[in-house]
Amino acid sequence: MYRVVASRAFRAGAPQKAFGCWFNLSRSAHTLPFATLEADEISGSKPGEVYNLVQGKWTGSSNWSTLLDPLNGEQFIRIAEVGEKEIQPYVESLSKCPKHGLHNPFKSPERYLLYGDISTKAAHMLSLPKVSNFFTRLIQRVSPKSYQQALSEVQVTQKFLENFCGDQVRFLARSFAVPGNHLGQQSHGYRWPYGPVAIITPFNFPLEIPLLQLMGALYMGNKPILKVDSKVSIVMEQMIRLLHYCGLPVEDVDFINSDGKTMNKLLMEANPRMTLFTGSSRVAEKLAVDLKGRVKLEDAGFDWKILGPDVNEVDYVSWVCDQDAYACSGQKCSAQSVLFMHENWSSTSLLSKMKDLADRRKLEDLTVGPVLTFTTEAMLEHMNKLLKVPGSKLLFGGEELKNHSIPSIYGALKPTAVFVPLEEILKDGNYELVTREIFGPFQIVTEYKQDQLPLVLNALERMHAHLTAAVVSNDPLFLQEVIGNTVNGTTYAGLRARTTGAPQNHWFGPSGDPRGAGIGTPEAIKLVWSSHREIIYDYGPVPGNWEIPPST
C-alpha cells in the first residue's frame, strides 16, 4: 500500500515543479521519482508488485498471481490479476467516454497541446541514463534479451516520443477542405477518434509496442484500456507511472492485468469502439468475430528473406541473417522464419558463417535465452518432424542449452536451422508443417535455382500472414519481380535488407488485410486510432430568384 501512496504523492506535484529538477533523481525513495521498485532488486526474497489502474486509481485485486523468473525459476513478481467478477469498474470507465472521444478538432483542442507537452517530458525522461537503464534492465528481467537489444527498445520508444513533441500531435488531426457546388458550400474532412478503445499487446516488446500504440490512441482523442501480457506487464505499469509524472491525466488510461478469458468478457461487456490486438493469429481471428470486425490486427508473421542471384558482402549478409533469426532468441514478430537462398549463395561460406555466428550466442550475456511461449520439448518435436521430410537436414543447433536454470515451462534451445528442399516445402502437408511459426531461435533454410523463382513466389503467395520480409539484392529487375508479386507490409529491399530492427521512422505492420494495423508513424496512428469524418458546410446564400421546384 505504501508504494501506491508514495507514487500518488510524487504524481501530485510532479507536473508543476518536478520537471526542473529531474537530474536530482537520487533523492526519491526508489531513486526515480515515478518508480515503485528497483529493477535489479526484484527477486524471490523481494518480489515486485504490479497493480491495475481504473478510473484514475491504482488498485490491487482479490487474487494475486506469481511469475517465475525466466532465468532461475524464482517467484519474483506478484500481479494483481482481475477476475471476471471484478471487471465492472473497467466497463463503467470505458462507458463514460463518449463516441466522439475525450478530444477532437471541435472539442477540447487544447488537449492536443497537452499531449505534445507530455511527449516532450516523457522523451526527455527516457533520454536520462538512469531512466533509460531502469527500463532496459526491467525489460531484461521479464523478457530476457541482451542489454543492447533491450536498450534499443527503449531508444526507439524515446525517439517516437520525440517525434510527437510540440505541435506534432495536433498535426495528426490535420483536416482538408474541398470547394462545393455553389457559394457558401465546402466539404471538410476530419480525423475523428473512436472514443472508448482497447489495446492488447504481447510479451516480446514490453515497452515499445504498448507505449507506441497507447500514445497513438491518446493523441487522437480516445480513452484506452491497456492489457499487456502479464508476464511483462510490470514494464508498462512503471511506464504509465512515468507518464503520470509527466502530466498524463490519471483518468485518461485504464490498465488491467487479467487472463484472456476475463479480458474477452470485459471487451464483450464494455463494447469498445475499436480494439488493437498484437499477437497470435488464432486469438486475432477470435477477436475479429467476437467484436464484429471492430479490430485492427498486427498478428503473427512467418517472415521470409530471399537472397537474390547477385552475391556480395557474405560476411555482412550472414551477420544480418543471424541477427534477424536469433536476436531476442527469435522472439520477434519480424524474426526471419525462412531463408530462400539462390543457388549462387550455396557455393559461398554463408551457411558456415551463420553457424559460427549462432555458436557465439550464449546465455551468460542473453544473446540467447529463455523462450517464453514454447517449451524445449515442443521445439525439438517440431524439428524432428521437419527432419522426416525427404532431403531435410539439420544445419546447426537442435540441442537444449547447457548449464541453465531456465524453468521447464519455458524453452531453452540453441539457435537452430533446418534445411528443407524447396520442392518438398510446396507439397501439401509439408507446407503447413514448414510454415508453422516457432516463436523462438528457429528457422527454415532452403535453396532455389535460377529458374525456380516462380516456385518461391508460389510459396510466399500461400502464406496467410504478411508482416515483414527482406529481398537481399541490388539487382533492380530481381527486386521488381519479387516486390511486385508479394504483399508483406514492411519489406526491406537491397543488399542490406533485413526483416527485424524496425526503427520509429517507418511504418511497421502487415499488409493485404483490411484489418491490418500499423505502428510508429503519423500514417499508422491516423489509420489505427482515428476514422474519417466529413462535414459539409452549406451557409448559403439562397439565390434571390429561387422558387420551389417540382417534386423529383
Active-site residue set: 298, 333
Alpha carbon distance 414, 398 (integer Å): 6
Reduced to 3 states, what is the DSSP secondary structure of residue 27? helix
Q: Torsion-angle region of residue 544: left (phi > 0), alpha (psi -120 to 50) or beta? A: alpha
Label each residue of 421-470 as H, E or C.
CHHHHCCCCHHHHHCCCCCCCEEEEEEECHHHHHHHHHHHHCCCCCCEEE
Lateral strand order in the sheet of 223-228: 57-59, 52-54, 254-255, 223-228, 196-201, 274-279, 295-299
Reduced to 3 states, what is the DSSP secondary structure of residue 400? strand
DSSP calls for 510-536: --S-TTB--BSSHHHHHHHH-EEEEEE
Quote the Cα angle for 325-358-393, to 5°. 80
Say if CB 394 and CB 384 are below 8 A apart: no
Q: Torsion-angle region of residue 459: left (phi > 0), alpha (psi -120 to 50) or beta? A: alpha
Closest by CA to 333, choosing from 205, 515, 461, is: 205
Alpha carbon distance 221, 517 (integer Å): 18
Contacts 24+ apart (CB under 8 A), 16-25: 18/245, 19/121, 22/124, 22/125, 22/128, 23/128, 25/128, 25/130, 25/131
Alpha carbon distance 394, 390 (integer Å): 12
Say if CB 103 and CB 111 are below 8 A apart: yes
DSSP calls for 205-268: STTHHHHHHHHHHHHTT-EEEEEE-TTTHHHHHHHHHHHHHTT--TTS-EE----HHHHHHHHH
Tell the residue number behind the cell numbers 526483416, with chain if given: 499
Strand partners, 501: none
DSSP state of 24: G
At residue 24, what are phi and psi to the nearest 5 degrees?
A: -95, 40
Say if CB 4 and CB 58 are below 8 A apart: yes
Closest by CA to 467, choosing from 505, 513, 531, 431, is: 513
Closest by CA to 443, choosing from 358, 367, 348, 366, is: 358
Tell the residue number behind the cell numbers 484489418, with chain if given: 515
Across the chain, which distance is largest between two alpha carbons, in Å? Answer: 93
Angle between helices 2-13 and 233-245 (to 10 degrees): 40
Count Cβ atoms below 10 Å from residue 139 Cβ, excluding itself: 25
Chain center to CA of 132 = 19
